[in-house]
Amino acid sequence: MKATRALSKLVYLIGLVLLSLTAALAQPAKSEEHTQAKVLYNGIELPNEWPPKTQDPKSAEPMEVPYLRNPPKVIPINVGRQLFVDDFLIENTTLKRVFHTAEKYEGNPVFKAETPEEINPTGTPEPGQQYVTYLGHGGVFYDPQESLFKMFYTAGWRGGLAMATSKDLLKWNRPELGIVGKNNLLLPPGWLWAGGDNSIWLDLKPKNPSERLKYLTDRGTHNKESRPHTLHTSADGRVWSQGVPVGKADDYCSFFYNPFRNVWGYSIKRGGRGRARYYSENADFIKGADWSNAVFWANADKLDEPDPEIKAPAQLYSLNAVAYESIMVGEFYIHLGPDNRICDEGKFPKITELKLGFSRDGFHWDRPDRRPFIATTRKEGDWDRGYLHGTTGVFAVIGDKLWFPYCGYAGIAPNGSRGMYTGASVGLATLRRDGFASMEATTQKGTLTTRPVTFTGQQLFVNIDCPQGELRVEILDESNKVIAPFAVKNAEVVKVDKTLQAVSWKGVSDLSSLNGKLVKFRFYLTNGKLYSFWVSPDKSGASHGYVGVGGPGMDGVVDTKGINAY
């Protein structure tokens, strides 16, 4: 008997090895840079030339988005919640799309200058600006190892790189790190422009533990010696690798991680229509320092209207990005002026506001709503009067809300001193989870039918707001015939306002009979708002999509917990 069990185990192990070898042989050969996925997770097929060199730096036309013009015939939806920020998923609908902007937290600012380094910095390349805690890009991330949010910021204008921690983004502590004196500085002022317009990323799954923190310094046009930006890595911010110079760029560059294709994307500041962005990518962060292959990426276009009072052309000051569920969300810093000289003479901040874009291939951006997602107040004395900045990482997820850290300038300090870069604090803005856009119906019933999709899962979920209305769902085959028993007459009625709500049909346990088949979902909605839908492998509603920089209750940046992380 023992011999039989041993033989069976051996046969099983040999089978596993053979399956692994077969899978390995079936994979395309990997280059030294990275494996280029021809067809993405969502069915989008990339062109042979990637990144594409189709954009014109001088053009004022909005960026063309190829996958919206020619969507895939079949869309796999196994990754993440499916959002309605565009028509990618929609075959036809009578519902109305409505975009939503963020709501500023009423307790803002949540973080402001308190330490000597922040109040009146000394030894910086540009002294004189006071009371500054600055998110030029910096970085705000959730670290599940310590159950803390970590904010990397500039302590004082052009000051040192500092770190603060929080459990909830609302109350912040400055831990004494013992690295640069008795304070929370990771790097001192002047260290390769440490804490200037830098960008930092907390990598939760680095190939090497010593590369958990990834850091891009700012050595752009501000530096008279014309030294380049440099890339560094560190395990915890105490010891940094020797810097690797990057390619040609102006000041104020940043980077982000695209987990859908496993590449680091570099957002490079160079000229276009005024300030603009170029793009380079690499699977290896340090090897990505070679920006010689960078292509023009994005600028402010004719839909970014000038401020009616300032009357200066809009420019793209910066562009950060992060993966959220099944898409990339881009944070566009739109610069409206006035010119630096005017602001310096008048001692008030220039105007930059934060707008959003959405991408399903990681390069092309659809920007359907040109209103500020987070706007300046432009009011004397307000902490966010002007010069708004987001952060590397863009936003976190806490329960049923998205939280966006941002930095604003008052132009005036508590001691009465004034300056273009004086009085910077950090605040928060929130949005309903998946709440970038909703498909809405009034008291008259509306419908939305998806394009053909495929999935592997058990349970349909929606993010829905219809307590005074109702939602029903039916499932069709590719020829628009209802698949029994998933007919609308058999559907359970949904009448709730929830960001995670299961959808079911009478007498049906799950959707396993439809796994791998081409189907369409048809939503019938009255008096409500539909934000997203997805098929989960279990009853928790876990989407297995991405959740920005994560948040409490999560063990990483992928939603594996569903309702259990709320």
Break the chain into its structural domains and give their ranges: 75-99+437-565, 133-432
Report pLDDT for 125: 54
**Rounded to the nearest 5 degrees, what angle is found at the Cα of 19, between the Cα atoms of 17 and 22?**
110
pLDDT at residue 34, rounded to an integer? 38
Inform me whether the pLDDT recorded for 30 exceeds 50. Answer: no
Dihedral of alpha carbons 514, 515, 519, 520, sign: positive
Residue (of 314, 320, 315) closest to 332 by Cα position: 320
- Going by C-alpha positions, the residue among 270, 377, 258 that lies closest to residue 317 is 270
Take residue 463 and report the two structure tokens written for it.
Answer: 């993010």
Contacts of 481 (CB under 8 A, 6+ apart): none
N-terminal to C-terminal alpha carbon distance within the chain: 49
Mean pLDDT (whole number) for 317-330: 98
Contacts of 10 (CB under 8 A, 6+ apart): none
Average pLDDT over residues 549-565: 97
Q: Where does residue 16 fall: left (phi above 0), alpha (psi -120 to 50 degrees), or beta otherwise?
A: alpha
When mean pLDDT is compared across 81-90, 163-172, 174-183, the lowest value belongs to 174-183
Say how far apart CA 222 and CA 2 lie, in whole Å: 74
Q: For residue 370, how far is the Cα from the chain centroid?
A: 18
Name the 3-class secondary structure at 363.
Answer: coil
Percent of the chain at pLDDT > 70 equals 89
Residues 6 or more apart whose CB falls under 8 angstroms from that of 350 comprise: 335, 336, 337, 338, 340, 343, 386, 387, 420
**Single-letter code of the amino acid located at 455:** F
pLDDT at 545 over 80: yes
Coil, helix or strand at residue 12: helix
- According to DSSP, the residues that pair with 202 across neighbouring strands are 213
In this predicted model, which residue has the larger pLDDT, 21 or 88? Answer: 88
Q: What's the sign of the alpha-carbon dihedral 41, 46, 51, 54? A: negative
pTM of the complete model: 0.91
Is residue 123 predicted with pLDDT exceeding 60?
Answer: no
**Dihedral of the alpha carbons of 340, 346, 347, 353, in degrees to the nearest 10:** -50
The whole-number pLDDT of residue 262 equals: 97
Calculate the average pLDDT of the chain: 90
- Distance CA(174)–CA(185), nearest Å, equals 9
**Mean pLDDT score, 300-322:** 96
- Please, which pLDDT band fits residue 532 given cuts at 50, 70 and 90? very high
Q: What is the tally of helices (H) and strands (E) in the chain? A: 4, 33
In this prediction, residue 273 has a pLDDT band, given cuts at 50, 70 and 90, of confident
Task: Please report which helix (H) or strand (E) contains residue 120, including its range.
Answer: none
Percent of the chain with pLDDT strictly greater than 90: 82
Residue reference for tokens 């963020």: 102
Q: Encode burial over 537-547: b for 16+ CB neighbours within 10 A, e otherwise.
A: beebbbbbbbb
Residue 428: name the closest of 454, 404, 458 by CA.
404
Handedness of CA 390, 548, 401, 364 (dihedral sign): positive
- Classified by CATH at the fold level, domain 75-99+437-565 comes out as Jelly Rolls (2.60.120)
Q: How many residues does the chain have?
A: 566
Mean pLDDT across the stretch 118-143? 83
Structure confidence at residue 127 (pLDDT): 55
Rounded to an integer, what distance in angstroms lies between the CA atom of residue 138 and that of residue 133? 11
pLDDT of 223 reads 47
Residue 21 in this model has a pLDDT that exceeds 70? no
pLDDT at 119 over 90: yes
Check residue 13 and give its pLDDT: 36
pLDDT of res. 176 = 96
Contacting residues for 509 by C-beta, under 8 A, at least 6 apart: none
* DSSP codes, 445-476: -EEEEEPPEE---SEEEEEEE-TTSEEEEEEE
Q: 256 pLDDT exceeds 60?
A: yes
Asked if the model's pLDDT at residue 221 lies above 70, the reply is no
Average pLDDT over residues 114-139: 82
Residue 212 makes CB contacts below 8 A (sequence gap 6+) with: 202, 203, 204, 206, 233, 234, 235, 236
Convert the pLDDT of each residue in 442-478 to its tens digit.
Answer: 999 999 999 999 999 999 999 999 999 999 999 999 9
pLDDT attached to residue 353: 98
**What integer pLDDT is reported at residue 31 of this predicted model?**
35
| Cβ atoms of 387 and 350 closer than 8 Å | yes
In Å, what is the CA distance from 276 to each residue of 56, 252, 313, 319, 483? 11, 11, 12, 9, 50
Distances in Å between the Cα of 47 and the Cα atoms of 36, 125, 211, 256, 361 are 11, 45, 32, 22, 11
Rounded to the nearest 5 percent, the helix, strand and coil shares of the chain are 10, 35, 55
CATH class of 133-432: mainly beta
Mean pLDDT of 409-413: 96
| DSSP 3-state of 136 | strand
